[in-house]
Structure 1
Amino acid sequence: MVQVRVAGVALDASGQHVILLKPIDEIPGEGMVLPIWIGQLEATSILVAVEQAPVPRPLAHDLMREILETLGASVVRIEVSRIEEGTFYAEITLSTPLGERVIDARPSDAVALASRVGAGIWVASAVMEDAGVPDVLTETDAAERMDEFKRFLDEASPEDFEG
């Protein structure tokens, strides 16, 4: 397993959202990055959590966090455990009053939840080897991503977060 962090959320050439997971011990522009394509709502949820942006109403992953806290459970870690036929699979490990439990999840939901509760994010070494790509992020790319997110927040309205 390789511990990773959210290096960013971007749009690919076709306008699809992609989350970029990077080993925590590698600097931007070096090593590998794991791209996982996700939906727009999940991308928004992850960005809101990573940037600690205020939202007018709780998002689905905020609700998940509140439910877990209310039930006395906590997220121990999440793992992107495997990839099969281009589909990534993740697991959320919970500490509960009844002991540790592992729950199957989509990587986007698992990362969004982990980003809210400060849980570690891990990727199976085989997944990183199979699906990781060289990280060629430039400072200009990073600045453009941040500008894009700031524009999103400036233009977002409370209705954009309604389910």
Structure 2
Amino acid sequence: MIGLDVLGIRLVSPEEPPVLLLQEQGGSRCLPIWIGNIEAAAIAVALEGEPPQRPMTHDLLASVVDLLGDGVGEAGAVRITRMHDGVYDAVLLVGGHEIPARPSDCVAIAVRLGWPMECPVALMDQVGVEVEESSTDEVEAFRAFLDTVNADDFEDE
């Protein structure tokens, strides 16, 4: 297994979904995972370490999952397990259980709880890409985007 760290969230263009970059620890390759705007915002908020005024869905889920882990005396972890037809699979490892979930949700929880993240070496060899150093302009652009959206922007038509 390869340990992973959140390198950041990138915006290719305003029309494209955000890309979550998970970098291999001690290496230069990343797993690029396209995620939704809501999940990107949830991860970005957690990375900033600023607690919300009211718990959001990922905060609630992190609290519940943390209780499950504490009940057996162990912390949890996240494993990005595979990619099939362009879609990544992941699991939360907690309390001796593997709970299938979207990678973006797993990362949002892991960042909140300080849990380690990992993937199989074969997955990184299959889809890992070299990524240049992040630009502060992209981070600022994403923050500006977050400042302009509200919940109504995500309603189904």
Residues 69, 54 of structure 1: alpha-carbon distance in 2 compared, 3 angstrom cutoff: closer
- Structure 2 CA distance, aligned partners of 1:115 and 1:2? 17
Aligned to 1:56: 53
- Structure 2 CA distance, aligned partners of 1:54 and 1:154? 16
- TM-score for the superposition, normalised by structure 1: 0.80
- Structure 2 CA distance, aligned partners of 1:64 and 1:151? 27
Q: Does 1:123 align with 2:110?
A: no
Q: CA deviation at 1:142?
A: 2.3
Q: CA deviation at 1:24?
A: 2.1
Q: Is the 8 A contact 1:2 1:122 kept in 2?
A: yes
Deviation string 1:25-74 (CA, Å, 9 cap, x unpaired) is: 23xxxx21110001111100011111113423212110102223455556
Q: CA deviation at 1:146?
A: 2.8
Aligned to 1:65: 62
Aligned to 1:143: 136
Larger deviation, residues 10-19 vs 42-51: 10-19
Which amino acid counterpart does residue 17 of structure 2 have in structure 1?
Q
Which amino acid counterpart does residue 148 of structure 1 have in structure 2?
A
Greater share of strand: 1
Aligned to 1:84: 84
Report the secondary structure of 2:109's partner residue.
Answer: helix
Count of residue correspondences: 151
Residue identity over aligned pairs, in percent, reads 33
Aligned to 1:102: 98
- TM-score for the superposition, normalised by structure 2: 0.83
Q: CA deviation at 1:155?
A: 4.6
